[in-house]
Structure 1
């Protein structure tokens, strides 16, 4: 009788598990809900527009030039994007700061040049007209005396073609060099003698070359038309290099500028290599037989 009473007790509908619920949701010791997936951190967009932080000018004055330049570039890009008066004004304030800093550096530089004249190019390169004319005349005289002293040791060869109009312009300049320096000059037409162009590696005409007699050394001093002052300057430098009077590092040292402001090796050697061996390696070649006189 008691068992029948228990079975007769109604069960609430809400307590009954529906088949769908019992099959889809399982909780307990052996069943658990998986943790929610964590969102992956997003990398900052390098192209994102960020307003630069401009420090006080007193702090900015202690920054290095590369750091200041980077801030100016950032502010420029920001101002060009947003196009507001404030942003553009901030950019030009930074530019004004950089301009004043540069002028301050220039002012201190001027004082340093006065206190250390050996660092000032004006000591070797005067800007006054009369002084420059005097310097030019002095350099011309140094070059002329040096090249005349080596006239018997070197010769000048100009390679040309019969169809080369520029060669007809360059040849009188080369002949003037012969008249003033006393050198032998030779005209070689590589149309008539193509083996010469191959032998000397000449493709462009006119090409003017210095050749050392009874030696393997030669050097191109002009490719194309070259004015007479430049031709004599290059000839002077080439002869000094080939004779070992200067090193390759001094090739831009002009006449009379040795041991001065424009001499790369004046205040200590830049390179410790042997100048003669280096010049020989750079300027060597086959032995050259020159005609007895100009052609």
Structure 2
């Protein structure tokens, strides 16, 4: 009887607990080779594939490439190159339609503004030089050119004759400032590198660096032209790469509307006006 009583008083065996606070060992993993098996992609008919977007097509090509490289069968590799051929023909078709669109919409084509024929390019260069020279000569009373140098700067001796040529052709006042002799100038203008060439607007605090180091004369004249136009407010910063005679043309960033959120014109309306009634 005591044995039976002790058996009845003994607490039941604890059951296995599950939940957030009790850890349960994960089941053993299956063979890793089965997990790494590459599935054969499903290649749809060509008519359906033609309606797919380029990212979708690219994903299918990558999947077929991985599958073909794994199984290394003639059929799998051939299917991969069939997809590549489809993508090639798709790109060729897009290029063909693009050429027609460029002919029908010349404002989207740079050929009219950037001729490739030698004689035409020479004429374009001469026209731009004339526009730039006329503009800079007209601004000679309001602007000046300053080159900062040091007596120990060998490059400065190369740059200074280029600055003097600018003076002769544009009629501007040019000044050479030696930072070793004028340390106050270094602090005032924050110049560290020599030679540094700067456009300064007379009677104001407006100035702009147009060259650090030695710069060829054509580039120096172009940068001076752009700097003066920017300081005068003739162009916005987004148009700084718009050259002489390129205003409102293909190379003018703002020719067809604002491209920056800081442009006042971007505050209202649809920024992309295709002229076709299509929504972007």
Distance 1:222 1:190 in 2: 16
CA contact under 8 A between 1:161 and 1:167: conserved in structure 2?
A: yes
CA contact under 8 A between 2:64 and 2:76: conserved in structure 1?
A: yes
Moved more, 265-274 or 247-256: 265-274
**Cα RMSD for the two superposed structures:** 3.2
1:71 aligns with 2:60: yes
Give the C-alpha shift of residue 268 in structure 1: 2.6
What SS does structure 2 have at the residue aligned with 1:221?
strand
| Structure 1 counterpart of 2:209 | 220
| Structure 1 counterpart of 2:129 | 140
Cα deviation 1:80-103 (Å, max 9, x = unaligned):
555555544444333322222111
Matches within 5 A, 1:12-91: 48-51=36-39, 53-56=41-44, 57-80=46-69, 86-91=75-80
How many residue pairs end up in the alignment? 245
Moved more, 160-169 or 243-252: 160-169
Cα deviation 1:42-81 (Å, max 9, x = unaligned):
8xx9x94524515233322211112222333334444555
| Structure 2 counterpart of 1:287 | none
CA contact under 8 A between 2:38 and 2:70: conserved in structure 1?
A: no
Distance 2:25 2:170 in 1: 88
| Structure 2 counterpart of 1:151 | 140
| Structure 1 counterpart of 2:218 | 229
Moved more, 236-245 or 193-202: 193-202
Distance 1:94 1:218 in 2: 58
CA contact under 8 A between 2:196 and 2:213: conserved in structure 1?
A: yes
| Structure 2 counterpart of 1:120 | 109
Cα deviation 1:147-185 (Å, max 9, x = unaligned):
000011111111122222222221111111111111111
Structure 2 length as normaliser, TM-score?
0.76
| Structure 2 counterpart of 1:208 | 197
Distance 1:33 1:251 in 2: 78
Cα deviation 1:81-132 (Å, max 9, x = unaligned):
5555554444433332222211110100000111111211112111111111
Q: Which has the higher contact order (CA 8 A, sep 6+)?
A: 1
1:94 aligns with 2:87: no
| Structure 2 counterpart of 1:169 | 158
Residues 94, 212 of structure 1: alpha-carbon distance in 2 compared, 3 angstrom cutoff: same
Cα deviation 1:210-257 (Å, max 9, x = unaligned):
110111111111112211111111110110111111111211111011
| Structure 1 counterpart of 2:21 | none
Unaligned runs of 5+ in 1: 1-18, 24-29, 276-295
CA contact under 8 A between 1:154 and 1:210: conserved in structure 2?
A: yes
Structure 1 length as normaliser, TM-score?
0.72
Of the three residues 249, 254, 268, the one matched with 1:260 is: 249
Higher Cα radius of gyration: 1
